[in-house]
Chain A
Amino acid sequence: MHERPRHWHQWFLIMAAFAAIAILLVMPLALIFTEAFSQGWAMVQQNLTNPDMLGAIKLTLIVTLITVPVNLLFGILLAWCVTRYEFRGRKLLSTLIDIPFAMSPVVAGLCYLVVYGAQSVVGNWFSGMGVQLMFALPGMVMVTVFVTCPYVARVLIPLMESQGQHEEEAAIILGASGWQAFLYVTLPKIRWALLYGVVLTNARAVGEFGAVSVVSGLIRGQTLTLPLLVQMWNQDYNTVGAFTAAGLLAAMALVTLLLKTVLEWATQHSSDNATEQKTEQDTP
């Protein structure tokens, strides 16, 4: 399939692709770091140790650390359910999970505000118990869970579908319990994909902006995550500060890309292994 380009028009296409990548992707990325460092290293350090920045980093980490395990667990359950059983509504279930992908994050935030806000029945009940859901950490976690819930399931479902369930059936026939079959047979088969799903969930959870901005209330030092801080400092004309926060997030994005590439390779490699035939002569 792959060939070395021979004709001038092939080189032209490649050059055009490089130009597109450079303008659309590389230059924006380079600009972030250039701007962040435009006032020197000392300024970067000062920005990084600013209490607002530290608070935002901490809040972002908390939100992510709650979101990722929740969606990991749910993603595995859903993928197991959808790929291992035949039941009415199976298609519907795997379609519903796509809704967060298609929805505008602002609309998602609004939905949560309407249902769990202080004016609503649920929100009212919670505030009676002394728990504030919206414009506070719980609400930010809730919308982040919403926005990122499809990732793990979406990565696992096609993989588990293609792997089939004969190996699990074999384990059951050999006396394994359902839990043992999952732990010793399914989990090793999907571990790379699972990690891949976690990386994607993590990147989106850290970077979510629209939905979180609606339910956070944008209280300085309290409900600002890193992406919200970027906007806040940009509005304050603290451009270098905004770019420093952006630089942190961009660094995370680059690490994500690296991990993603490695994990994609690992997933492919392990499934190649499974379909690979004949490496040795038969000697019955």
Chain B
Amino acid sequence: MSIRVEQIQKRFGDFTALDDINLDVQEGQLVGLLGPSGSGKTTLLRIIAGLEKADQGKVLFHGKDVTDLDVRKRKVGFVFQQYALFRHLTVADNVAFGLRMLPRKERPARSAIRQRVHELLDLVQLGHLAGRYPAQLSGGQKQRVALARALALKPDVLLLDEPFGALDAKVRKELRRWLRHLHEQISVTSIFVTHDQEEAMEVSDQVVVMSQGRIEQMASPLTIYEQPASRFVFDFLGHINALKGHYDGRRWQAGNAQLRLTTEGACPNGELTLYLRPHEADLSKTPSDSANLPVKLGARSVFGGTVTLELEALGWPAEVMEVELSRDAWQALDAQPGDTLFVHPRQLQTVTCDGNLGPRVTPA
């Protein structure tokens, strides 16, 4: 079932939670709503579910207007952030709840309900815990019970609010792979809310980046990363180094640091900020013709295959920079803390003085 959101507006008092939201979700897709807290992503999810009413705009399921349709009739499955499991019911009774609430003539027989609950618990690999109470489960298990409960009524749409928010790092990772896998099995149109970039990028078919009640970009994870539509999106996807300086049409300069850039006239002369992703630069002990960014090597941290280095600008104004090297490159460099090194950006994102994204450039 496809989902379409048209011109949704929502205010809470003076605060604009959602401002003219338009969204199209194809049937069977898994879409991640990504944004910082307060960006309106949870409100949007609750409006799609029917838990919240928009001030303006429409929600359509498969082309049918459901804006004023009662929650109970929307056929949505919803997984709450803190799971909202019924604490006084066992795992099996939690999953069976929706089936038992059906009007008598639609309600399956007891044995059929038991059968269905059994299937669902097997699907989420919790068959052995059917008799437990929510308080006796771990966070990850509760999460899966909540999912099974939401799937019990065979919803057309599955909505998940920060599904992995309350879990620790290791469990999160395992659980999101599992969710991806589960979605491939049952392929129900799904939307989930997250503030974790990695999570959104790994799990979703499409990512919707939100900020301050607006959609900044909606695209596949790869497009979002390689062609961010706005400065906010670029900023939000992982750490960046911002280098502030001056551009004269050929050279970018900040103090005694300089880069030779060709922007083919896309950037006007004057103030120009460059964004550098930590993994898009090399280090060496000598400057080159195109790049002269002297830095002093500070702390380093080794994790897995990469080494993260803290670099202090030498003789030009910049915040402490962060650059990631592969372990091999780090060993080849053979540097000690305190050494003077030179940064060689492989790719830079320009940000013009009006705050918009310019072209991506390579020093040459």
Task: Determine the chain A residues whose CB is within 8 A of the CB of B178 once the complex forms.
Answer: 284
Taken together as a complex, chains A and B put the C-alpha atoms of A180 and B86 apart, in Å, by 13
Q: Is A174 an interface residue (CB 8 A)?
A: yes
Q: Is A48 an interface residue (CB 8 A)?
A: no
Task: Determine the chain B residues whose CB is within 8 A of the CB of A185 once the complex forms.
Answer: 86
Residue contact A172 to B72, C-beta cutoff 8 Å = yes
Q: Is B141 an interface residue (CB 8 A)?
A: yes
Cross-interface CB contact of A171 among B101, B171, B175, cutoff 8 Å: B101
Q: Is B87 an interface residue (CB 8 A)?
A: yes
Cross-interface CB contact of B139 among A169, A175, A184, A282, cutoff 8 Å: A282
Given contacts A180-B101, A284-B140, A284-B171, contact A173 B87 (CB under 8 A): no
Taken together as a complex, chains A and B put the C-alpha atoms of A10 and B76 apart, in Å, by 60
Cross-interface CB contact of B71 among A172, A188, A276, A281, cutoff 8 Å: A172
Q: Is A27 an interface residue (CB 8 A)?
A: no
**Which of A169, A170, A270, A283 has the largest count of B CB atoms less than 10 A from its CB?**
A170
Residue-wise interface mask of B (65-82) relative to A, using a CB-CB cutoff of 8 A (1 in contact, 0 not): 000000110001110111
Cross-interface CB contact of A284 among B51, B86, B102, B125, cutoff 8 Å: B125
Residue contact B97 to A171, C-beta cutoff 8 Å = yes
Q: Is A95 an interface residue (CB 8 A)?
A: no
Cross-interface CB contact of A279 among B81, B102, B135, B153, cutoff 8 Å: B135
Residue contact A284 to B135, C-beta cutoff 8 Å = no
Residue contact B174 to A173, C-beta cutoff 8 Å = no
Query: What is the minimal beta-carbon distance from B46 to any residue of chain A, in angstroms?
Result: 9
Query: What is the minimal beta-carbon distance from A81 to any residue of chain B, in angstroms?
Result: 19
Q: Is A236 an interface residue (CB 8 A)?
A: no
Residue contact A173 to B51, C-beta cutoff 8 Å = yes
Residue contact A278 to B87, C-beta cutoff 8 Å = no
Q: Is B236 an interface residue (CB 8 A)?
A: no
Query: What is the minimal beta-carbon distance from A151 to any residue of chain B, in angstroms?
Result: 24
Task: Determine the chain A residues whose CB is within 8 A of the CB of B80 once the complex forms.
Answer: 166, 169-170
Residue contact A174 to B101, C-beta cutoff 8 Å = yes
Determine the residue in chain B with the shortest Cβ distance to A181.
B101
Q: Is B137 an interface residue (CB 8 A)?
A: yes
Taken together as a complex, chains A and B put the C-alpha atoms of A188 and B88 apart, in Å, by 7
Query: What is the minimal beta-carbon distance from A173 to any residue of chain B, in angstroms?
Result: 5
Q: Is A162 an interface residue (CB 8 A)?
A: no
Residue contact B153 to A175, C-beta cutoff 8 Å = yes
Task: Determine the chain B residues whose CB is within 8 A of the CB of A281 once the complex forms.
Answer: 138
Task: Determine the chain A residues whose CB is within 8 A of the CB of B102 once the complex forms.
Answer: 175
Given contacts A180-B101, A273-B135, A284-B178, contact A173 B76 (CB under 8 A): yes
Taken together as a complex, chains A and B put the C-alpha atoms of A42 and B139 apart, in Å, by 64
24 A-B pairs with CB atoms under 8 Å apart are A166-B81, A167-B87, A169-B51, A169-B80, A170-B80, A170-B84, A171-B97, A173-B49, A173-B71, A174-B149, A175-B98, A175-B101, A188-B88, A270-B87, A274-B135, A277-B138, A279-B136, A279-B137, A282-B140, A282-B141, A282-B171, A283-B125, A284-B144, A284-B178
**Interface pairs A-B: 8 shortest CB-CB:** A174-B98, A166-B84, A273-B135, A188-B88, A282-B140, A175-B101, A170-B84, A176-B101
